Structure 1
Amino acid sequence: MKRHHSMPFGAHLLDAGGVRFRLWAPGVAAVVLQLDETQELPMTAADSGWFELTVPTAHAGSRYSFRLPDGLLVPDPASRYNPEDIHGPSEVVDPAAFDWSDGGWRGRPWEEAVIYELHVGSFTPAGSFDGVIERLDYLAELGVTALEIMPVSDFPGRRNWGYDGVLPFAPDAAYGRPEDFKRLVDAAHERGLMVLLDVVYNHFGPEGNYLHAYAPDFFNPHHKTPWGAAINFDGKNNRAVRDFFVHNVLYWLEEFHLDGLRLDAIHAICDDSSPDIIEELAEAFRSVRGCGRHVHMVLENEHNQARYLGREDTGVLRHATAQWNDDIHHVFHVLATGESDGYYADYAAEPMRLLGRCLTEGFAYQGEASAFAHGKLRGEPSSHLPPVAFINFLQNHDQIGNRAFGERLSQLASPVVMEAVTAVLLLAPQPPLLFMGEEFATAQPFLFFCDFGPELARAVTEGRRREFSRFARFADPAARERIPDPNAEATFELCVLDWSGLDRTPHRTVLELHRALLSLRRQWIAPRLAGMGNGDPKTTLLSARALNLRWRLGDGSLLMLDANFGEDVVEAAPATGSLIFATTNLDDTMIKAGQLPPWSVAWHLQSGDPS
């Protein structure tokens, strides 16, 4: 089976032979195509800033760049592959050269989602798409149903988290060729695994973004962002810009047969138009979904805008499938570690109440004032939404990597605490997300790393250390000097997972816990989530650090959680229904008596339609 998404820009192989090249460059009067470093071919100016040229002798594998009037050579912003990194020429790629074997794959319903976030470069020592393939059987056996891959769009150098990409259509050559990524997706589908990709539509990276040189209309100076002028989604000449990102969505979903995309930090997208770009991108997802596939639009949005997560009365999505719920991470972290600095201060006063609110209503902040944001109101009401609209997690790349030394939660909290919070994460109705290595309490940190050119590298290293100066432990310049240099190769190497840990204690024990909980989720929880609405939840606080929660699932059964995240024994009502899971510090006598020792969790399920 062949797959190809046709785009109005970039390099397009023609059925009759040759290649049509198109570039939107409204900021210059002329563009010359440099082909295979030997030919300089003037392009024809068309309407609205477009330049185009058909070259009968060009073919798959041809290398090309665009020369601007000042002599600057730039790659194709819609390049499908840049083998010599972001400053080098682009390569013509034939999408039909890859033979897909997943013709019967239609994706999976979102209720079945168990998400595993990974970074291709540090997930395995190979640091490649092929390296990920080697671990797919392990992930399927673990109980994962969806990979979420951090951005792969071409970035500067050999090492990067991916959020500094500048060529959104080109998988980075450090990980392999486009067909290698397709082979990963194909192999994942063979094992029943969805593949989601993280994409960045709020900015371009600080090195290698040449758009300013020939398409200044790509940016809107009336909106300021941390990265300079905002991408132009609502200013003059925005149609070509919006089309660029709409086609990027369709390209990944159609040509790479991905099962969904996570849109990074949409709160940093500036767009005052209606429909806004998020709504327009949702239409692109709908068009693919209309072809009989499950495809999922996932958001990251600090503003907690529930409007993007709404469902029709029939359950049909209005826009996005789900959102990363940062609120529940922050609550979990405060409960597990006692940390209360920075944004954790907003969750420190009543963490158990806020945990209950996240588990039953979605967001902790639904319009309340945030002290961390100097009293600014944050969020929108979300209690009407189904639990599957919120992705829960204890850790992710940001929350680990934004710590000075990239510590995992398992290095900050005891095994007893980790068992309790993991049991809540993996059996709650919300789709859980694990960050690579979390399932076996890896000893490897996940640090911030990159590979910029010398001048930018120095600025990034100094800026990284300076941002921690407001913390007491880093007030001393000597302490800040110990923060790993993001540009050092050794910093990246510290983050590469050591898979030999699977065979050692305590990693094996932690892995067995995750496998057991995900098996229980697959058996008892996931089949009952469809059609549950908001679950008609009920919350009872048993103490300042303990609670009882109840949800009505889609089949009418009642799911019940008793959790004590404190240091004292707490009395709860005697348990009813079938015990699904209890932490190892809970015995039958305690469960029947309704006694919850410190850091204990019990899950029960009562079938039918009890009163």
Structure 2
Amino acid sequence: MTRIDRPFEPSDLQFQWGATKVGDGRWRYAIWAPAAQSVELVLNGIAHPTTSSNGWYWAEIPAEVGDTYTFRINGNDRPDPAARFQSGDVHSPSVLTEVTPPPAWDGMSMEDLIIYELHVGTFTEEGTFKAATAELEHLAALGFTAIELMPLSQFEGNRGWGYDGVLIGAPHNAYGSPEDLVALVAKAHELGISVILDLVMNHFGPSGNYIGEYCPEFFHQTDTPWGAGIDFSRDEVRHYFGDIAMRWLEDYGFDGLRLDAVHQISEEGHRPFLISLIDAIRAKDWGRPIHMITEDERNLPHLRDAGYDAEWNDDYHHTVHCTLTGEDFAYYEPFAHDPIGDLKLALERGQVNEGQKRPAGKPMGASAGHLPWSAFVNSNQTHDQIGNRAGGERLIALSNDTAARVLHTLLLCSPFTPMLFMGEEVGSAAPFNFFVDFEGDLAKGCREGRARELASIGHDASKMSDPTDPETAAASYPFRPEDTPHRADWEQLTKDLLTFRKERIVPIVKSGEKGLTDAEQIGEEGIYVAWPFKGGQICIALRLRPHNPELRGKAGPFPNHMLHFPDFAVGDLTTDPYAIAVKVIS
């Protein structure tokens, strides 16, 4: 048997994980199970023998799309870890699936992206791909140019965030079918919206992960905060995740991936997996831009230097959060000493932590000032920062409406890549809670573990909603009828800002950067920033009154050109505690 070609570095890998159509109605079913004593392929309930070599077991058997199959390993039926769809939950037989990609389209540049992060299960009352598709026209009318879907990989139960997926390549069937997902992507493209998938490759969830039974070599001795660490030094492991990542892009037409917590992906071995992955993606002509975004708490530029487009910028979020809330526990502590100064630094440099000594904690990060502004995905709120609170409170519930509007304007008018979390566009104050669909001991362990985790980072765990209660998930739906008047006003602000960004900000950003950013702190409450570009300047002056009374002072004199006839403004810089003015100079 000859080796199947891979887009990654050469290896002696014989097979591709899972079910692959090989022609004439025949399918090859392959699994790497080096610890297995026996493996059979069970197709539509009928067992078939497999051939084995070097820990691989495979069979070639005629079948049709829609047939179900499992691998019977040591007498136990297990789903295909590389399944494309499931007949039921994570313990059920897998389904032979072929996906027809959506029609080709030209895509969007990184500079054009205004990202809307959403969770399919709570974005609509129905919680399905079809229901989300019906809302895309509204998002397009507001001016959003990208949506980022929280993880879709099949996980235990019907409801959950998705970060505990165990069948990484199978869309969660409680949301709908693969065809429904293709239809969502196709509709988004029709409306000029890119679609980015949040993909977790650093760990598996706690229920339905059977790989360790028959393939302990898949894991190494160092655990992640969420489970067993994965051994990316093994070619079989690298190709498992790499092939699935490419498959999401190829089969469903996604325009990019947001890779979760890449600092937990080990870089051992002959070549770092993340570098192999980006090289493979960049080597292919997709006919559209593919946006590769990372979450990486190390604050290092090396992955963006290697070809990744951007990184979630927690530094920006933390400075905003500490300014408006005064919170100073856990990872907020370093940003609570001088949040206005840190925000000025984030606007000037992109990030705050660049390896220098900080008021609290160890130095981290490295200089990222050479990167384009689009390489920083800035946000005032994300699922992570809202949901990992005992009460799931949004920023607007922790501060005030006026302050939230000022930060909304700053986010959407600065040259970085902006991202909003669902509901933020209408000023929603609804919580976004942590929730799962576990039962028995697993549910009990989740409740207790969640309470311990929250208490360890300074939250009052007594305020925590039961993550296993269906009402906890239902309460996370962000659009409430009683918010209608407030919602209409916020929605208009969002639409005005997105129109302004498209017409005035984006053309300047696309003209190319030119020279150093002019940034200065104005008194103790003000910031002035001017970003130079070949096509002109984007200038922002803002005043934010820190929540902590000890940090409050007066804003000094702002430049005259920001006080008179700004292009966009919220509040009055000379009198209001929260205000912002934006001016674009062509």
TM-score (structure 2 length as normaliser): 0.93
Look up the match of 1:467.
Answer: 453
**Structure 1 residues 198 and 229: alpha-carbon distance in aligned structure 2, compared to 1, 3 A threshold:** same
8 A contact 2:527–2:542 mirrored in 1: yes
| Separation in structure 1 between the aligned mates of residue 500 and residue 511 of structure 2, nearest angstrom | 20
Amino acid at match of 1:45: S
Q: Counterpart in 2 of 1:494?
A: 475
Choose from 384, 399, 405 the match for 2:391.
405
What is the match of residue 23 of structure 1?
31
Task: Supply the AA of the counterpart residue of 2:273.
Answer: I
- Aligned partner (choices 499, 510, 530) of residue 519 of structure 1: 499
Preserved CA contact (<8 Å) 1:564 1:596? no
Measure, in 2, the Cα distance between the counterparts of 1:518 and 1:255. Answer: 31
Cα separation, 2, equivalents of 1:197 and 1:516: 27
Matched AA of 1:450: V
Pairing partner for 1:366 from 336, 340, 354: 354
Equivalent position of 2:540 in the other structure = 561
Residue identity in the other structure for 1:259: D
Q: 3-state SS of the aligned residue for 1:158? A: coil
- 1:291 is displaced (CA, Å) by 3.7
Q: Deviations over 1:221-279 (max 9, x none)?
A: 2x332234311112xxx001101111122101111110000000111112233531111
Q: The residue matched to 1:233 in structure 2 has which SS?
A: coil
1:347-398 CA-partner distances (Å, limit 9, x unpaired): 11111121111112111000134565xx422111011111110011000001
How much has 1:501 moved relative to structure 2?
Answer: 5.3
Instruction: Determine the C-alpha separation between the residues in 2 that align with 1:447 and 1:432.
Output: 23
1:151, 1:214 → 2: CA distance? 26
Unaligned runs of 5+ in 1: 311-317, 475-479
Q: Is the 8 A contact 1:159 1:449 kept in 2?
A: yes
Instruction: Report SS of the residue matched to 2:174.
Output: coil
The equivalences for 1:522-533 within 5 A come to: 522-530=502-510, 532-533=512-513
SS in 1 for 2:447: helix
For 1:393 and 1:596, the matched residues in 2 are separated by: 27
Does residue 328 of structure 1 match 2:316? Answer: yes
CA contact (8 A) 1:561 1:601 kept: yes
Residue 54 of structure 1: aligned partner: 60
Return the alpha-carbon distance in structure 2 between the equivalents of residues 309 and 543 of structure 1: 35
- Please identify, of 239-248 and 258-267, the stretch whose mean Cα deviation from structure 2 is larger: 239-248
* Aligned equivalent of 1:433, options 419, 423, 437: 419
Q: Does 1:449 align with 2:435?
A: yes
Structure 1 residue 99: Cα displacement = 6.7
Partner of 2:174: 174
Kept in 2, the 8 Å contact 1:13–1:60? The answer is no
Does the CA-based 8 Å contact 1:564-1:570 persist in structure 2?
no
Corresponding residue for residue 226 of structure 2: 227
Q: TM-score, normalised by structure 1?
A: 0.89
Match of 1:80 in 2: 84
Q: Using the alignment, how far apart are the partners of 1:544 and 1:366 within structure 2?
A: 23
Task: After superposition, give the CA deviation of every residue in 1:313-353 in whole Å (9 maximum; x if it has no partner).
Answer: xxxxx321000000000000011122222211111111112
Give 1:112 deviation, angstroms.
0.3
CA distance in 2, matches of 1:542, 1:274: 50
Partner of 1:313: none
Secondary structure (helix, strand or coil) at the match of 1:305 reads coil
Match of 2:337 in 1: 349
Match of 1:416 in 2: 402
SS at match of 2:510: coil
CA–CA distance in 2 between the matches of 1:261 and 1:473? 31
Matches of 1:272 and 1:9, distance apart in 2:
22
Aligned equivalent of 2:578: 599
* Counterpart residue number, 1:198: 198
Cα distance between partner residues in 2 of 1:466 and 1:283: 41
Q: Quote the RMSD (CA, aligned, Å).
A: 2.0
User: Shift of the alpha carbon at 1:116?
Assistant: 0.2
Aligned residue for 2:30, secondary structure, equals strand
Which deviates further from its counterpart, 424-433 or 266-275?
266-275
Name the aligned partner's letter for residue 47 of structure 2.
E
Instruction: Give, in whole Å, the separation in 2 of the partners of 1:77 and 1:509.
Output: 47
Which residues of structure 2 form unaligned runs of 5+? 1-5, 8-14, 546-551
Aligned 8 A contact 2:410 2:580 in 1: yes
Give the match for residue 3 of structure 2.
Answer: none
Write the deviation string for residues 425-484 of structure 1: whole angstroms up to 9, x where unpaired. 11000011000001112232100000123111100101112223357773xxxxx44421
CA distance in 1, matches of 2:565, 2:275: 43
* 2:71 aligned with 1:66: yes
The answer for the alignment partner of 1:582 in structure 2 is 569
CA–CA distance in 2 between the matches of 1:437 and 1:449? 18
Q: Is the CA contact (8 Å cut-off) linking 1:501 and 1:507 kept in structure 2?
A: no
Provide the rounded CA distance (Å) in 1 between the counterparts of 2:455 and 2:440.
23
Alignment of 1:32-47 (within 5 A): 32-37=40-45, 39-46=46-53
Asked if 1:90 is matched to 2:94, the reply is: yes
* 2:370 equivalent to 1:384: yes
Partner Cα separation in structure 2 for residue 370 and residue 270 of structure 1: 27
Alpha-carbon distance between aligned partners in 2 of 1:580 and 1:21, rounded to the nearest angstrom: 61
Change in 2 beyond 3 A, CA 1:291/1:467: closer
For 1:400 and 1:99, the matched residues in 2 are separated by 34
Alpha-carbon contact 2:65-2:98 (below 8 Å) kept: yes
Q: Does 1:287 align with 2:283?
A: yes
- How big is the shift at 1:26? 1.4
SS at match of 1:117: strand
- Matching residue's letter, 1:323: E
Q: Which residue does 2:246 correspond to in 1?
A: 250
Q: Structure 1 residues 6-15 or 512-521, which shifts more?
A: 6-15
Paired with 2:55 and 2:482, the residues of 1 have a C-alpha distance of 56
**After superposition, what is the alpha-carbon deviation per residue over 1:398-446, rounded to whole angstroms, capped at 9, x for unaligned?**
1000010101111111111111111111100001100000111223210
After TM superposition, give the deviation of residue 541 of structure 1 in Å.
1.2
- 1:66 is matched by which residue type in structure 2? F
Does 1:484 find its partner at 2:465? yes
Task: Spell out structure 1 runs of 4+ moving beyond 6 A.
Answer: none
- Give 2:476's aligned amino acid: C
Q: Decide whether the 8 Å contact of 1:13 with 1:59 is kept in 2.
A: no
Q: Supply the distance in 1 between the matched residues of 2:21 and 2:423 (Cα, whole angstroms).
A: 41
Return the offset for 1:205.
0.6
**Aligned counterpart, 2:120:** 120
What count of residue pairs does the alignment treat as equivalent?
566
Aligned amino acid, residue 64 of structure 1:
Y
When residues 99 and 113 of structure 1 are mapped into structure 2, their CA distance, relative to the original with a 3 A threshold, is closer
Q: CA deviation at 1:212?
A: 0.5
3-state SS, counterpart of residue 457 of structure 1: helix
Amino acid aligned to 1:166: V
- SS state of the match for residue 220, structure 2? strand
Q: Quote the Cα distance in structure 2 between the aligned partners of 1:42 and 1:534.
A: 65
